Structure 1
């Protein structure tokens, strides 16, 4: 009988974790499985069969409840019950969770079902939300209350923001009770850093297997016609290009890029992708902003042309932008933040402490003083050897088979 995989995520083939779920689905289908993805919002066409959880109205009601009463993940009960009816009818062999936060699921209902389903459950942790009483990230404020018991949350107004109540103490207990109720749960942190913190949390006694995110090296690869890309986005030729890319620049070091600009001379230009129009209009001379590239090929062209990819993130688990830049042959300079440093080694990138702009400036000048070809082959080979999606997603398939004892 054909095996069935069901993945549950906020998106389907959209955004980094949505594309990861899509890639995993493609791998299991190549082995003869059926692949299904249940998603909350934001979907692109998918090779897997899709199920849409809830509605826009449900999402809005969940959002209001979350913002007023710190009830994130405790709304959407009707939508979750309908999802569980679908799961029962589908009867998948493996249930694989990704981001279950995002105003679309009721996690007590979901985990009550999973605790009785007698099926292997895999949960890829893309952030820290599963073991905190509120936040998805805590490194920016250097909070470690999650190690003992969350309360008096210093990030009450950060995602998932609560404007009135702080129920982090209650939420911590509810998560702990729900998530520890599933006997055959396997947790998959996407970086060694996240694995380390996970093993200090209330989930430490669960089965844990670290697997890195992967990228498609057939898509992200060095481009040759890069001058056309530079012309298209009005980037001046003859200068050293320092590239930064983010889908959301919240705590991604935008102000640090501006400080760096003040330390560099006019031989350098900083190009930032993913900025909104307000920020683009406020940029100083020597910093160019791009709202978004028209397609992945253009993004690869920018990665390929850049002398260095700068990731000055202040809060991250395992950013795929580092991998994309390396796959296009470009070295990375990153802050010592979370799992961001795990993408590089001594031949493919350099590390600076958060906020040490002078060190970043020195590293930029050093990298730009060397020929780009020194880095191109080793950068790409590092991704092929360690972060190729075909290899990483096969790890999930092998894990599924081990869990099913096939």
Structure 2
């Protein structure tokens, strides 16, 4: 089989690591694998296809900021890319995040409809079926079910500072994304699958394949993190995010800090330097790191991982914490709850500081060791990356067999 994956990034971030992992499995199994992305290509990666230039991305961002037309820029870059795809002639095209200022969705889907190739589309958020936003739980918006207009999140990703175009975007996406003859949608969570079935994408079959992580990397390790930050004897409450904002629950850590005991400390990873300057003494702020080894040391040192996200799909941070033997506390929101059970942490009422405090207290009293074994085992059984990638391999094979059957007839 010859597989082409398309994603905004490759090798970094949660979606970038998923794409790279699928590629590695394909190569090991003797298949041809190619990855196309808008930025952050794999270093020393021969089978990478860059879509557009930095200038193309910049102009796409500008079009989004002014006209709220995210996904409708990069026309020339996408036409050039489609020419490369036609020469490559893949058996299956696997889409991931097609938002991110790098591809024109109309040009891309016009090709997919005429090429009549099997398409697998893994949705990592809700952007595909809204007129603007990638999530809507935070603002309790359900316009996406019937038709977006006057988006309450116009200034959120993908940010527009002038015009609002959500009504037109919604109608165009509905027109563009429907009627692909042979497409299956994959979601990492049951929560997102349920939403897809309520959206204009409901005509497509939907399969749930949970995100998986590399258990040779994410595992309990000996760490000097406590010594490095003078935290020996402290109960560490950990939070990690790519960007700390209201949606990720930033304010709940600030409120938690006001209610902690003297031997308790919060560690937040992914903060900006400006955010770090505003922290109280019982919060240690660390800027974003792409060092997986450093993250594993931090996860392993923490006593509990708190994820007060207000909207999320299937956060890999929960899985990474569990794999490192650290119990997880999360709000009852989105797909975040699906990775946690009573042996590995707590799911508390959305927005409840008291719920977070009570769950932290229980874990502190019982001790991290009483959870660690179950945390590691849960990830080993359910969220090993090889399980997820094997499901994708099976999906590719089934799709490929259908092609051969159609050709033989």
Contact 2:118 2:183 (C-alpha < 8 Å) held by counterparts: yes
Q: Distance in 2 between matches of 1:391 and 1:99?
A: 21
The change in CA–CA distance for 1:212 and 1:40 in structure 2 (over 3 A counts) is same
State the partner residue of 2:407: none
Correspondence for 1:23 among 18, 21, 24 = 21
Q: TM-score, normalised by structure 2?
A: 0.96
Q: Distance in 2 between matches of 1:172 and 1:163?
A: 19
1:230-241 matched pairs, under 5 angstroms: 230-232=226-228, 234-241=229-236
State the partner residue of 1:335: 331
Q: Distance in 1 between matches of 2:76 and 2:25?
A: 32
1:88-237 matched pairs, under 5 angstroms: 88-224=86-222, 226=223, 228-232=224-228, 234-237=229-232
Q: CA deviation at 1:235?
A: 4.1
Q: CA deviation at 1:154?
A: 1.1
Q: How many residues align?
A: 401
Contact 1:133 1:170 (C-alpha < 8 Å) held by counterparts: yes
Contact 1:25 1:48 (C-alpha < 8 Å) held by counterparts: no
* Mean CA deviation greater in 149-158 or 316-325: 149-158
Q: Distance in 1 between matches of 2:12 and 2:142?
A: 31
Q: CA deviation at 1:313?
A: 0.9
Contact 1:220 1:300 (C-alpha < 8 Å) held by counterparts: yes
Q: CA deviation at 1:49?
A: 1.0
Q: CA deviation at 1:43?
A: 2.6
State the partner residue of 2:311: 315
State the partner residue of 1:372: 368
State the partner residue of 2:243: 248
Structure 2: give runs of 5+ residues left out of the alignment. 405-409
SS in 2 for 1:221: coil
1:277-356 matched pairs, under 5 angstroms: 277-293=273-289, 295-356=291-352
Q: CA deviation at 1:353?
A: 1.5
Structure 1 stretches of 4+ with a deviation exceeding 6 A read: none
Correspondence for 2:266 among 241, 265, 270 = 270
The change in CA–CA distance for 1:391 and 1:294 in structure 2 (over 3 A counts) is closer
Q: Distance in 1 between matches of 2:6 and 2:31?
A: 17
SS in 2 for 1:351: strand
State the partner residue of 1:87: 85
Deviations along 1:84-103, one digit per CA (max 9) or x if unpaired, are 00100001111000110111
SS in 1 for 2:366: coil
The change in CA–CA distance for 1:235 and 1:335 in structure 2 (over 3 A counts) is farther
SS in 2 for 1:122: strand
Q: TM-score, normalised by structure 1?
A: 0.96
The change in CA–CA distance for 1:186 and 1:359 in structure 2 (over 3 A counts) is same
Q: CA deviation at 1:294?
A: 7.1
